Structure 1
Amino acid sequence: MGFISPNLPDLDREAWARGSRMERMRPMVQDWAQAGFSAPDAVLVLYVVKIALYCFGAAALTALTPGIGDLGDIADWWTEPIFFQKVVVFTLLFEVLGFGCGFGPLTLRFLPPIGAFLHWLRPGTVRLPPWPSVVPLTRGTHRSWLDVVLYGALLLAAVQLLLAPGQGGRPGSVGVIDPLLFLPLLGLLVLVGLRDKTIFLAARSEVYATLAVFFLFTAGTGGDTTDMLVGLKLMMVLIWWGAATSKLNQHFPHVVSVMMSNSPVLRSKTVKRRFHRDFPDDIRPSRLSANLAHGGTVVEYVVPLVLLLSDGGPVTAVAAVVMVCFHLQILTSLPMGVPLEWNVFMIFGIGFLFVENASVGIGELGNPLVLLVIAAAAAVVVLGNLFPHQFSFLPAMRYYAGNWATSLWCFTPSAIAKLDASVAKGARLPAAQLETLYGAETASLLVHKGYAFRAMHTHGRALFGLIPRACGPDHETAYAPHDGEFVAGITLGWNFGDGHLHHEQLLEALQERCAWEPGEVRLIALESQRFWDPRQEYRLVDAATGELERGFVHVSDMLDRQPWAGGIPVHDVVTPTVTAPAPRTLTPEV
C-alpha cells in the first residue's frame, strides 16, 4: 500500500469502464473483501495523530485547572472527577467542531477534510429544523446570523467549562465544576438543536450531553459525587446495552465482515477473505463474521453488567480488560465514519468509573432524579427501535447495527452543476474532490470503491437494486448515483450515518435553491427495519414533482443476494395518481 497513493485493484481499466454499473462494482467488492478501502498509509497516520491530539488536548486543558497539577503529573490526578467532567466537555467540543465522527478521507472528505464550524459559522448555508411546523421561530432552511451566534455561544460555553476551576471536594482534591455552569451548555444545545438538528447530532448529544446532565447531581459546595458517579455508570451501561440491543438483527454480520476487511492491523489478504463465505464468488458474511458479531453482542450485554455490579478486585479487572479490548478492536479497525474518539472515551470511562470508582455502587444512589434521566434515555432507545422512522439512529443507539436509514441520490450532470452553483457550501461532492486529487480515471475507481462499501451492507443491495425503478431505462447513462451521506456532508456540513439527514427534508431544502427540473434528481430513500418486521420501507422521489413510488423490500431478499446482484423484488407498491414525467436522455455518467 502506498504512503500517499491509494492501492487500487489491478484490472483492465478500459474493459472495466465499458461494463454496467453493477459489473464495475463487482471487482471493487471483491477487492474490498481482501483489502478494504485501501486508504494510503498517510491517511492512517493522519487518524493516529488526530487521536493523539485529542488525548493531549483534553489532558492539557485540564492541567490548566487551578490546583490540579502539571500535565507531567497526570498520573497523580487523572482520577479527579473534574478531569472526567472536562474530558466529556472537551469531547463534545471536539465533535461539534467537526474533528471527530465524519472527519477526513475515510468519510470521503478531502478538500477540505472538515465541515462543521466552516459551515455552521457561515450564514446562508442549509439548516434542518427537526419540528418546524410545531416549534415557533424555527421555520425555514437558511442559516441566519442568529444561528451563527447560537452556535458560537455553544462553543464559548464549552470553553468556559474547560477553563472552570473546581469547587468543594474531599481534602487534597480540587473538587468538581460548579453544576450551574453546565446549564448554559445544555440550554444552548437545545436551542441550537431546535434550529438545526444536524448540530445537535454532531455534538453526539445522546452521549456527551446526557452524561453532562449527571454533572448537575453534585451536592453543592460539599462536592459529594456519589449520585453523579452512579448516574454516569448507569448511562455507560445503557450505551452498551442500547448498542447491543440494536444488533439483534440479521444485518450486523455484514457490518463485521466489512469492518474487519478494512482493518489496517490485519494486513493478510488470506485472513480477510475468511470473513466472507466463499471469496471471490460469495461475499456474504462467513460463519466467522457471524460468530464475531453475535459473540460481541453477548459481551456487550454481559460484561458491562459485571462491571456495574462488581466492587473491585479480580472480577472487575477482568471485566474491564475485556471491554477495553472490545473498544480497541473497533478503534484499530478504523471503521468508515471513524467514531474513533468515542471509543477512546469509552476506554477512559471504563478506567475512571468502573475501576477507579468500583466501590461506588448503585445502592448508594440518593437522588431518584438520576433514575428518571436514565429512564428517559432508555425510552428513546426502545422507541427508536420500535419506530425507527421517527428517531435518529444516534439517540436510538443503533451505532454499528447495520440497520440504518440510508439513501442514494441519482443526479444528472445538469443537476450537479445547479447544486454547485446554487447551494452555499464548503466543498463539492466527493467524486469531484477525488477527480481534483487523482484525475478522472482513478476517481471513478475510488467512487466505485465507495459503492462497494454500501453494497456490501444489506441495505446497499436494496438501494442499488432500486435504481432502475427510480431512474428508468437510461439509469446507466443519464445518472450518477451519490451516497446520501456525502450529499448531507457537503450541504449540511456533517454526516455520520443518519439517513434522516438526507431524506425528503434535505431534498426539499435543496430544491428551493436549485429549482431542478423533473427527472434531474431522483432520491431512493430506505428506512430502517423495525423490530420484528421482516420488511424495510423504500420511497422513490423526484426533486421537482415529489414521490413517485413507495413500497417494501424484504430483508431476506437482501440477505440472499450478492452485492453486485442488481434489481431486487418489491412488495406492496403504491404510486401517486399523477405520475412524474420520465427523465430525459442526457449525457453519459462520468
Structure 2
Amino acid sequence: MGFATPDLPPVDPQEYLARPVRERLRFATQHWVENGFGTAKFVFLIYIAKLVLLHAFLGVVIATSTSGLHFWDVSGWWNQPIVYEKLVLWTTLLEAIGIAGAWGPLTFKIKPMTGGIRFWARTGTIRLRPFAWVPLTAGTRRTPADVGLYLLLLVSLVVGLATPGAGVGDSLPHELVRPWLFIAPVALLILIGLRDKTIFLAARGEQYMPAMLMFALLPLFSFATLIVGLKLLIVVVWVGAGLSKIGKHFVMVIPVMVSNSPCMPFKGLRRANYRNPPEDLLPSTFARFMAEGLGTFVEIAAPLVLLFSVNRTLTVVCAVFMVCYHLFIISTFPLAVPLEWNLLFAYTALILFVGFPAERGFSVVDMHPAWLILAIFALLAFFPVLGNFRPDKVSFLPSLRQYAGNWATGMWAFAPGAEEKMNRVQRPVHSTVDQFVEFGIERDWAEVLMQIGLGWRAMHSNGRGLFSTLLRHVPDIEQRTLREGELVCNTLIGFNFGDGHLHDGNLIAAVQEQVGFEPGDLVVVCAESQPVHRMTQDFEIIDAALGVIAKGRWNVDDVVTAQPWLPDGPVPCEITWTADATRFPLGRAA
C-alpha cells in the first residue's frame, strides 16, 4: 500500500475491464489475498485520528466537564456510570449524524466523506419505511416533518450530554444523567424508526436504545439493578453475535478481513488464511481456528464467565480478553468500519465488569425484583431469535449478525447507458465512480477499483450465489455494468452497513419512481440471509420497471465450497417462481 496513493493492481485498465466477469473476479480475488483493497495508508490514519480525537478524547472531555469531573484524573472518572451514560449519548449522536460508523472512503464515501446528515436533514431525499402496515408512513420521500423529527433527535442527545447529573436516590456515591432526559431520544428513535429505518439503524438504535431505556427506568429500582441490567444487555449482544457465527458463513469472513488489515504487515500471514493461494482461496485450517475458536466459542464463553464470575482474577482476564477482541476488530477496519461502536464496547467491558464486579453486589442475584432478569432477557432476545428464524422480517443488526457473514445482499446490473439515469434521483452526492473521478482518479482506474469491490463480495459465500444467479439467469450479463448493492445504496440513502434490506425491492421501487427505467435497464438480484433451520438461501430477481420477475434459492453447501471466481461454473440456483416470461425471458446464459 502506498502512503498517499492507493496501491492500484498491476493491470491495463481497459484490457482488464474488457475481460469476462469470471476472469475479472479471479484477478480481483487473487489480488485481494495479499493486497486487500490497496487503500492508501493515510486513509487509515484519518480513521484512527477520528476515533481517538473526535470520539474518545472529545467524548471524554464533554462527559467529564459536564459531570463535575476532571479529564486528567482518569482514576476518578473511568468507573463513573455518568461518564458511561454520556459516552453512549455521544456515540449515538456521532452515529446519527453519520460521522461514526459507515463513514468515509473505506465505505466508498469518497467525496464527500459524510453521508448521513447531508441526506437526512434534507427534504425530498429517499426515505425507506420498515413496515408497510404502519399508518402515516406511506411515501418514499423525506418530508419537513421527517427532517424535524431527525433534528429533534440530535437536539435531545445534545441536551442529555450537556445537562449535569443528579443523585440516584440511594446511598451509593454515584451521579447519573437525569433519567427523564432519556425519554425524548428513545421516543424520537421509535417515531423515526417507524417512518425511516435508515436513520434508526444508522444511529444503532438496536444497541443504544435499550441502554437508554435502562438508564431511564432501572434507577427507579436501584443502582445495582441498573448495572446488572446493562451487563445483561452487553452479554446478550456478545453471545448473540457469537451464536450467529455458528454455521458455514463466518469462516469466510476472517480471511477477507485479515487480507485488508493495514495492521497485518506480512503477506505470509495473509496467505496463511487460505488453503492454497492463489488457486485455492477457500479458508485454511488456521482461518477456521480463528473463526470457530477465538471468533465464536470464546466470544460466547468469555461473556458468560463475566456475567457469572465472582472471582476477581477471572473477571479481569475475561474483561481484558473482550477489550482485546474489540481492538482486534478495530485493527482490521471491517465492513462499515464500526470503530466507535467497538471502542465503546471495549470500555463497557471494563466499567461494568471490572468497575462494578459481581462479588461486590453487582451480580445477577442482586437485581431486584428478580422477575426483571427474565423480562429484560426476553425483550433483548426477541429480535435476535425472530431475525434468525425469519431473516426477511428483521434487519441483521437487531438480529445480532453483524460479522456473521450470513447477510442479506444484492447485486445491481445496469444495461449499457442505464446507470447514468440514476442521476435523476434527488440526492446530494454523485455516483461512486464519479466521486473517484472528482477525487482525481482516472475513470478507467475508478472502474477497476469498483471491480476490486466486486471481488470482495465474491470472497464471501453470498457473493458466490449472487454471481451464479446473474451468470445463469441474466443472458446479457457480460454487457452489463455490475455494482455492489452496498455502494449503490450508499449514494442513494447516505448509509451502508452490510444490510441488504437497505437496497432491496423497496429501494429499487423508490428509485424507479424518480428515474423511470425501461424494462431491462436495471436487473437486481437480492438474496436473503440463511435462516437457522434450513440450508438454503432465498433470492429474487427484480427488474426495476417490472418488479419481481423470478424467485429462487441456492444451497449453502454449494456456495461455501465454490472458489470465488466460480471456475467450475455457476453453482446451482433453482428458480421456484417466475412472472410472465414474455415480458422478461429468463434462461441460462449462453
TM-score, normalised on structure 2?
0.94
Q: Within 1, Cα distance between the matches of 2:342 and 2:516?
A: 42
Q: Residue 59 of structure 1 aligns with which residue?
A: 60
> What is the correspondence of 1:114-193 to structure 2 with a 5 Å cutoff?
114-132=114-132, 134-169=133-168, 173=173, 175-193=175-193
Q: Does 1:111 align with 2:111?
A: yes
Give the Cα–Cα distance (whole angstroms) in 2 for the partners of residues 572 and 444 of structure 1. 31
Deviation at 1:312, TM superposition (A): 4.9
User: RMSD across aligned C-alpha pairs, in angstroms?
Assistant: 1.7
Amino acid at match of 1:384: G
Q: Partner of 1:476 in structure 2?
A: 478
CA contact (8 A) 1:409 1:521 kept: yes
State the partner residue of 2:223: 225
How many residues were matched structurally? Answer: 576
Q: Distance in 1 between matches of 2:48 and 2:257?
A: 18
* Counterpart AA for 2:244: S
1:427 corresponding residue in structure 2: 429
**Alignment partner of 1:375 out of 372, 378, 383:** 378
Q: CA deviation at 1:212?
A: 1.1
1:49-93 deviations in whole A, cap 9, x for unaligned? 111120012111112324x22322233122111111111111111
- Secondary structure, in 3 states, of the residue corresponding to 2:402? coil
How does 1:180-329 map onto structure 2 within 5 Å?
180-219=180-219, 224-295=222-293, 296-329=295-328
Whichever residue aligns with residue 375 of structure 1, its letter is A
Query: Paired residue for 1:333?
Result: 332
Match of 2:571 among 558, 565, 568: 568
Quick one: which of 444, 453, 474 aligns to 1:450?
Answer: 453
2 CA distance for matches of 1:217 and 1:464? 49
SS at match of 1:414: coil
Q: Please list the CA deviations of residues 183-238 of structure 1 after superposition, one character each: whole Å capped at 9, or x if unmatched.
A: 11100001111110111111111111111111123445xx9421110000001100
Contact 2:364 2:373 in 1 (8 A): no
- State the one-letter code of the partner of 2:246: L
In structure 1, C-alpha distance between the alignment counterparts of 2:3 and 2:521, rounded to whole Å: 39
Moved more, 173-182 or 42-51: 173-182
- Following superposition, the deviation at residue 14 of structure 1 comes to 5.0
1:379 shift after superposition: 1.6
- Secondary structure class of the residue paired with 1:389: coil
- 1:308-331 CA distance string (max 9 Å, x none): 112352111111121112111111
Q: CA deviation at 1:418?
A: 1.9
Deviation at 1:275, TM superposition (A): 0.4
Cα displacement string for residues 237-259 of structure 1 (whole angstroms, at most 9, x for unaligned residues): 00011101110110111001111
**Distance in structure 2 (CA, Å) of the matches to 1:47 and 1:519:** 40
Letter paired with 2:579: P
Q: What secondary structure sits across from 2:571 in the alignment?
A: coil
Deviates more, 1:138-147 or 1:444-453: 444-453
Q: 2:545 corresponds to which letter in structure 1? A: A
Report the Cα offset of residue 413 of structure 1.
Answer: 4.3
**1:543 Cα deviation after fit:** 0.7
Q: Secondary structure at the match of 1:318?
A: helix
User: Unpaired runs of 5+ in structure 2?
Assistant: none
**1:216 & 1:458 partners in 2: Cα distance?**
42
CA contact (8 A) 1:217 1:225 kept: no
Separation (CA, whole Å) in 2 of partners of 1:456 and 1:155? 38
Counterpart among 459, 464, 468 of residue 467 in structure 2: 464
Shift of 1:156: 0.3
Unaligned runs of 5+ residues in structure 1 are 584-590
The residue aligned with 2:533 is: 532
Q: Secondary structure at the match of 2:166?
A: coil
- Return closer, same or farther for 1:361/1:400 CA change in 2, 3 Å cut-off: same
Q: Residues of 2 paired with 1:173 and 1:427: CA distance?
A: 50
Q: 2:57, 2:311 → 1: CA distance?
A: 28
Q: 296-305 or 6-15, which moves further after superposition?
A: 6-15
What is the match of residue 33 of structure 2?
33
Distance, in Å, in 1 between the alignment partners of 2:74 and 2:416 is 55
Match of 1:100, SS?
coil
| SS of equivalent to 2:206 | coil
**Counterpart amino acid of 1:383?**
L
Residue 385 in 1 paired to residue 384 in 2?
Answer: no
Q: Which amino acid aligns with 1:496?
A: F
CA distance in 2, matches of 1:154, 1:560: 46
Kept in 2, the 8 Å contact 1:214–1:370? The answer is: no
Q: Which residue of 1 aligns with 2:517?
A: 516
Q: Which amino acid aligns with 2:137?
A: T
Change (3 A) 1:491 1:214: same
Task: Report if the CA contact (8 A) 1:107-1:337 is conserved.
Answer: yes
Q: Percent identity?
A: 38
* 8 Å contact from structure 1 (residues 231, 374) kept in 2: no
Q: Is the 8 A contact 2:17 2:448 kept in 1?
A: no
Q: 1:480 to 1:71 in 2, by over 3 A?
A: same
